[in-house]
Amino acid sequence: MTMDLLKRVSSAALVLGLGAPVSGCGDSGGAETEGATTSGGVTITGGITITGTSAAGSESDSTPTTMSTTSPKLDLSDDPELPSCGSGDGKCNLLDLLFVIDNSGTMGEEQVNLAANFPLLIEQIAQIKDKKGNLINPDVNIMVTTTDMGHPGCTQFQKEDYVPAKGEPINTPCTDRLERFISLDKKKNIQSACTNACSGVAPDGPFIRYKVNGTTNVPGDDVAGALSCIGLQGIDGCGYEGQLESMMQALNPDKAWNQGSFPFVREGAVLAIVMVTDEADCSVLAPAGYDYFDKGKAEDPTFSQYWNVDPAEGGKKEVTSAVCWNGGVNCVDADNDGIYESCTSADKGVLHSTTQRYVKYLRDVLIKQEDKEVIMLGILGVPEVTAHNEQPPYEPTAGGVHSLVYRRWKDGPYPGGDILPGDKGAAYKEFEFGIGPGCTGSDGQGNFTGQAIPPVRIKEVCESLNEGDKIRCCIESICDDDFSDAIRCLSGLLEESFGPIG
């Protein structure tokens, strides 16, 4: 990254709350903190004015054991065969691919499904062609992080060896993290998901770096194997998932992995973001937003207003993921039939603003101001896609978000109702999540793989990247038992994102 661009991106990051890292809850139970807010108009280079909240704080003293900021030994960015990037010649073949993967307790089967498709992804990246039919042969960075931003509501339940990633790269093979694959209540053990997919290979550095048909920082050049190893995250992470904020911190230009000779985010590179989650975004506006999750404030209606009534105890006595939905989304049910005509993100002081923080950074700063191509694949809680465009980028045309219905939970066993074997009734599910399921998954053999919550906030951020006829967002169903269509859509988005190489 040139010094000029670094200064401009850092300025944008400071305004949007990226420039000063926030600290999260670790073993000490400390909450993520932010300093004074900045209001009014702040003009960034290019005349874009950003308003809203910005963060200023200090980095947590604890460093996740899964994080390494040691630079890879191979310098893949100085290959004389590479076309120049950032020079305006339209011939850049750099790709920065970020995975944000939910590591909460319900994500076992979905991670196995994703890992099974990692080799297909690596294969399709190698086959990407420009609009003239020439192979791109991209120079690729692949980074993986989790959705865990260190919510203090989860601290008391964390295992002793667990540290929230908070956007930092996970660069160790899952075979070195087998405790992550045992649920917090010890009732679920999916360690075999890791041992069946991972041979123990991992990148030499904080993320995978490779050039198609060229050098890599992976032993034996087993890029697909390394991705399968670092991609599996386990099931003992926080259930208050901060998907969007984890993404934001992963892209933070002031973080170690985005600086030095081998930054993850590179000037001129296509940025591809993959979100894999089965719950609603819960990116808390710290520190004040955490008050709405504080059980000690149950008697204060200001802070308990987004809690749902506990059907077992009566009253608002427990905090659940429903706060993430109620405190970040507004829904309209005009005829009171339990089916919402619309649900949209809302700024209520609980969660970060999707428009003032995430949309502005991705669309207004990176795409419009920095002229960076940004695309997103969301594997989320929407119905299974039933049809795709036959031409790149192969986006969904039927099913999926086109069939998504926002509604309350329905009593009775699935499919007539929403209740799966072993689950409690609709009142309890409403108490727990605040909204009915966006989809229900099965493995094709009569076994259910779980249910997923509709992704209002992530969906809005993803779709904001689209511009006229240009598609930059693809949303697939996490309830699908095969993610190959999702990988194909990502490949199609990439194919449409690169300029002519030859």
Distance CA 82, CA 104 (A): 40
At 502, is the pLDDT very low, low, confident or very high (cuts 50, 70, 90)?
low
Per the listing, tokens 């240009």 go with 470
Across residues 193-218, what is the average pLDDT?
Answer: 96
R_g (Cα) of the chain, nearest Å: 22
Higher pLDDT, 442 or 127: 127
Task: Identify whether the C-beta of residue 45 lies closer than 8 Å to the C-beta of residue 14.
Answer: no
Residues 6+ apart with CB under 8 A from 336: none
**pLDDT at residue 6, as a whole number:** 35
Across residues 348-359, what is the average pLDDT?
Answer: 97
Distance CA 290, CA 283 (A): 10
For residue 247, give the H/E element and its range: helix 243-251
- Specify the pTM: 0.85
Across residues 184-195, what is the average pLDDT?
Answer: 94
Distance CA 460, CA 368 (A): 18
**pLDDT at residue 86, as a whole number:** 52
**pLDDT at residue 44, as a whole number:** 22
**pLDDT at residue 475, as a whole number:** 98
Task: Identify whether the C-beta of residue 404 lies closer than 8 Å to the C-beta of residue 344.
Answer: no
Exposed, middle or buried, 468 (CB in 10 Å: 0-12/13-18/19+)? exposed
At 485, is the pLDDT very low, low, confident or very high (cuts 50, 70, 90)?
very high
Q: Where are the chain's structural domains? A: 3-271+354-404+454-497, 285-351+412-453
Q: Given its phi and psi angles, is residue 288 left (phi above 0), alpha (psi -120 to 50 degrees) or beta? A: alpha
Higher pLDDT, 256 or 13: 256
Tokens of 176: 């070195």
Question: What is the tens place of the pLDDT at every residue in 434-484?
Answer: 999 999 998 777 788 889 999 999 999 999 999 999 999 999 999 998 999
* Count of other CB atoms within 10 angstroms of residue 317: 13
Which residues share a beta bridge with 146? 101
Residues 6+ apart with CB under 8 A from 305: none
Task: Identify whether the C-beta of residue 57 lies closer than 8 Å to the C-beta of residue 21.
Answer: yes
- The mean-pLDDT minimum among 33-47, 191-205, 299-313, 323-337 falls in 33-47
At 36, is the pLDDT very low, low, confident or very high (cuts 50, 70, 90)?
very low
Across residues 136-140, what is the average pLDDT?
Answer: 94
**pLDDT at residue 91, as a whole number:** 62
**pLDDT at residue 59, as a whole number:** 35
Examine the pLDDT at 26 and tell me if it is beyond 80: no
Three-state secondary structure along 262-317?
CCCCCCCCEEEEEEECCCCCCCECCCHHHHHHCHHHCCCHHHHCCCCCCCCCCCCC
What's the whole-number average pLDDT of the chain? 84
**pLDDT at residue 444, as a whole number:** 75
At 501, is the pLDDT very low, low, confident or very high (cuts 50, 70, 90)?
low
**pLDDT at residue 132, as a whole number:** 80
Tokens of 183: 């649920």
Examine the pLDDT at 365 and tell me if it is beyond 90: yes
For residue 112, give the H/E element and its range: helix 108-126
Question: What is the tens place of the pLDDT at every residue in 412-431?
Answer: 999 999 999 999 999 999 99
Residues 6+ apart with CB under 8 A from 133: none
Distance CA 62, CA 458 (A): 29
At 119, is the pLDDT very low, low, confident or very high (cuts 50, 70, 90)?
very high
User: What residue type is 369 in one-letter code?
Assistant: Q
Task: Identify whether the C-beta of residue 316 lies closer than 8 Å to the C-beta of residue 490.
Answer: no
Distance CA 408, CA 454 (A): 11
Examine the pLDDT at 85 and tell me if it is beyond 70: no
- What percentage of the chain reaches a pLDDT higher than 90? 74
Packing angle, helices 484-497 and 108-126, rounded to 10: 40
**pLDDT at residue 499, as a whole number:** 76
Across residues 168-197, what is the average pLDDT?
Answer: 95
Distance CA 359, CA 463 (A): 10
Distance of alpha carbon 99 from its chain centroid, rounded?
6
Distances (CA, A) of 447 to 159, 440, 453, 481: 29, 11, 19, 11
Exposed, middle or buried, 254 (CB in 10 Å: 0-12/13-18/19+)? middle
Question: What is the tens place of the pLDDT at every residue in 37-60?
Answer: 332 322 222 233 333 333 333 333
Examine the pLDDT at 62 and tell me if it is beyond 70: no
**pLDDT at residue 442, as a whole number:** 86
